[in-house]
Structure formats: C-alpha cells, structure tokens
Amino acid sequence: MEDKGNLSESERLTFALPVDSDNKATQFKILSLAEPHMRAFHLSWISFFACFVSTFAAPPLLPIIRDNLNLTATDIGNAGIASVSGAVFARLVMGTACDLWGPRLASSALILLTSPAVYFTATINSPISFLLVRFFTGFSLSTFVSTQFWMSTMFSAKVVGTANGVAAGWGNLGGGATQLLMPLVYELIRKMGSTNFTAWRVAFFIPALFQTITAYMVFFFGQDLPAGNFRRLQNSGEKAKDKMSEVFYHGIKNYRGWILALGYGYSFGVELTVDNIIAEYFFDRFNLKLHTAGLIAASFGLANFVSRPGGGMFSDFMAKRYGMRGRIWSLWLVQTIGGVLCVVLGRVGSLGPSITVMLIFSSLGLISGMTGAGGNVGAVLTQVIFFKGAQYSKETGITLMGIMIICCTLPLALIYFPQWGGMFFGPSTAENATEEEYYASEWSSREKEEGKHLGSLKFAETSKSERGRKIASQLRPTSGTSPTTV
C-alpha cells in the first residue's frame, strides 16, 4: 500500500471494508482486524485503555499508599488534580501534533514518553514525588485526542460516531479495570511474601509494562490514513502540509468548539473526577474492605463498555432522522439527566442505593461518546472546587458537581450551523449556506487556486448526511457553483 505513487492510484486502492470517495470505511465491523481501518480502531482503544490503567492505578491503592507516604487529604486532592491537569495542555498540543505528523506517530510518542513516570511510581517516598508521578502519568490521557482523530480519518460520517464512541468507551474501560486489577495484583504480590508497603510499589510495574508495549504496537502496526502514513503522503504531494499557526487559528476561532469543550468538561471531566475519588469514597464512607471498594469503583468505569459506544450509536441514530440538530438535542438531554443523577448520588446515604445510582449515573460515558476536548479542564476545576482538602465532604462535593453539570450544559442552545441549524432554529435559507461554502471558507483564494481545498470539498460532500432525513428531503437552494471551483 505504501508503494502506490500518486493520487489516482490511491483512489483505486482496494480494502476489505467498503469505502467512500475518501477511502473512509462506510461499515464498522467490530470483530474485524481488516487493514487499515479496523486495525487502527483496535490499536487506538487498546493504547488508550493502557493509559487509563496507568493514570488511575493509584486511587484504588490509596488507603495503603497514604499510610506509607503519610499523605493528608490535601496531598491526595492535589495529586488527583495533578493527574488530570497535565493533559489540559497536552491535549491542545496533541490535536496539533495529529494534524501535522499524524495520529500514529503522535500517539506512540506520547505513550512512550509518559511510561517512565509509571515505572518511577515504585520509587516515590514523599507527597511531592507522588504528585509529580501522577502529574506526568496523566499526560498520557491526551491520547484520547489521537484516538478520536484517528477514527475520524478512517471512518465515514455514517459510522464515525459509533467508531469514536466504541474506541473511547473501550479505552475508558481502563479506568474501571484498574480499580479491579490493582487491588488484585497488590494482594497477589503480598501473598507471595512482600510487605504491604513493598507490594503496592511492585504492582505498578504491571501497568507500566503494558503501556510501553502498546506504544510500540501503535508505531509499528498502525497507519495514519487509509492511503498510507502522513510523511509519505505529504512527500508525494497527496496530502497538503498544514502550518501549525493556521491549524491553531482555525481551531480557537470556532465558538462551537469552546461550547462543546465546556459541556465535555462536565461529562468526561466528571468521569475523571469520579475515577479519582470513588474507591476512597466507598472505602471511608461505608467502611468497606479495599478489594470490595475497588470492585464497586470498577463497576463505574466498566460501564463504559456499553455507555460510550451507546452514546455514539444514539448520536448517529438521531442524526439519521434529525441531522446535527438531533445530535445537539440528544447531548443536552442526556447530560442534563446525568447532572440530576449526580445530585441524587451525593444525597443518598446507604450503600445499596448509592451503588444503584452510581451505575445509572455512569451514563456520563454515553455523553462522552457524543462529543469530545475540555474534559481535563472540567476535571481540574471540579477537583479544585469540590474535592481539594476538607472544605466539602465528598457527598456534598458530588451534589454540587451535579448542579455544575446541569448549568454547563445550557450553552449547547447557542450552537448553530448555517447549513444544519441548531436546537431551536433550522438551517439558513441563504444561497451560500451549504456544506461546501462552510468548509471552503477556511481556505484563501490562493490556496483554492492551488487546489488545496479539494479535500475539504470531499469532506463537505460526505457531511451532507448531517442534514438528517427531514432536511435532506426538502429542496435546498444552491449557489450554482461547482464544488471543485468554490
């Protein structure tokens, strides 16, 4: 595949899955390993899973670690904030890195660079060293960006919601799996003769090794685009080389991205917060054993097996009927319900109902499956405001967090696309309110003359599915301009 020389040959590539004009798969076969589409899918979620396991390997062992390092409630809160704050900047960089060098190289490099922090966790001996290893390990969570970017380059608009939801959801399973895995590994090592304070340190070599292996898997077995890797396509002229300044400019000027980042901050961000506090919360509040608290906490993260993929599928289902407006409405509805459930979780005072509400509340994963970038910012703000030190009890913090979710979901009503509409208004009737005009507007006249915008026009053509059946069935005014000359 790498030996195909020019664009016309790339367009004639054959794949195991049916593809569109951009060679993006139009079907999503979850049990397939077909190159390059499904292989990219499996590599992305497995590597993201490994990063989640590493980042949240500490919380289920906190009752032991805090005794060994003499951690205070403030130390634990600060470390939890650190574990998700590093990825705030890293996510911005990762998005640009994917645009410039491709998701394969960007993802594998970050995973490999952050794995030493997981190994070093076994050697820490103070609260500050505990905070630092959690901070640098948390950078790996920005592989979420490369995961979503990769799926968007491999799958067409018809199935990309499902692909993104399943990849992110299965990756998020790591946050639940580690709550179950780390106590089991700890107990196994302890029974082999290690002391309590030695066993937890040895246990960290398991997630560290797993993360290292996945970095090499992504690098050696992955492929950036259906037609090949970024470097070869850029060198051959099949893919234009993006300028970092232009990528950044177009990203920050789109107000819709900022609104979605806010909403995502209180869906995925809350999910990260819960991953940090939930095991210790059940251990302390209901006087449970370490393994039992870890098992209950694991059920929250493991719910992503169905909740995130369900979010992607639900979003795709709504889009087929109502287009982008359906996606926005469904996002608002589900996230608002999640906020209400969060409030209820903080008010329930007995173990059984708490577990029940927590499992229903895990529908936040469904929300995350609908959207995706301010998650880590939301996690940082939430933990700073509600879970740092002893200002609020954890149950009060959970209640207030639910109120924040509801409030931060309201701005979704402001999102409007001229070609698709918004929550309360339909698409514009202006002649230039087309997908072609919308995506071509990012290119200058000179760039259009050089043909650099043609890839955007191909994407615009496939994105017409976001009109939904109701809009697509109506006659839309057109500008009469050929797509290739917009």
| More confident position, 391 or 255 | 255
Q: How far is CA 223 from CA 41, 102, 219, in A?
A: 10, 9, 8
C-alpha span between 176 and 155 (Å, rounded): 27
In CATH terms, the fold of domain 27-414 is Growth Hormone; Chain: A; (1.20.1250)
* 187 touches 195 (CB < 8 A): no
The predicted pLDDT at position 221 comes to: 95
Average pLDDT, the chain: 80
Whole-number percent of the chain with pLDDT over 90: 28
Per DSSP bridges, beta strands 416-417 and 421-422 are: antiparallel
Residues 56-111 have pLDDT tens digits of: 999 999 989 999 999 998 898 889 888 877 777 777 788 788 888 889 999 999 99
Confidence of residue 11 (pLDDT cuts 50, 70, 90): low
Q: How far is CA 55 from CA 111, 114, 134, 484, in A?
A: 11, 10, 7, 47
Confidence of residue 4 (pLDDT cuts 50, 70, 90): very low
Residues 299-310 have pLDDT tens digits of: 777 776 777 677
Which residues contact residue 205 at a Cβ distance below 8 angstroms, ignoring those fewer than 6 apart?
A: 119, 122
Maximum average pLDDT range among 206-215, 241-250, 354-363, 432-441: 206-215
Q: What is the pTM of this model?
A: 0.71
Assigned token pair, 80: 């939890």
| More confident position, 314 or 385 | 314
The residue ranges of every structural domain in the chain are: 27-414, 421-485
The predicted pLDDT at position 215 comes to: 97
Helix (H, G, I), strand (E, B) or coil at 167: helix
Buried residues in 144-161 as b, exposed as e (16+ CB within 10 A): bbbbbbbbbbbbbbbbbb
The predicted pLDDT at position 245 comes to: 61
Which residues contact residue 47 at a Cβ distance below 8 angstroms, ignoring those fewer than 6 apart?
A: 107, 108, 111, 143, 147, 171, 214, 215, 217, 218
C-alpha span between 165 and 391 (Å, rounded): 36
Lowest pLDDT segment from 2-11, 91-100, 141-150, 257-266: 2-11
Given a cut of 80, is residue 177 above it in pLDDT? yes
Given a cut of 60, is residue 331 above it in pLDDT? yes
* 185 touches 311 (CB < 8 A): no
Maximum average pLDDT range among 166-180, 254-268, 363-377: 166-180
Confidence of residue 418 (pLDDT cuts 50, 70, 90): confident
The predicted pLDDT at position 2 comes to: 44
Provide the β-strand partners of residue 422.
416
Sign of dihedral through CA atoms 208, 210, 211, 217?
A: positive
Q: Which of 185, 196, 184, 96 is nearest to 146 (CA)?
A: 96
The predicted pLDDT at position 273 comes to: 78
C-alpha span between 118 and 345 (Å, rounded): 32
* 299 touches 355 (CB < 8 A): yes
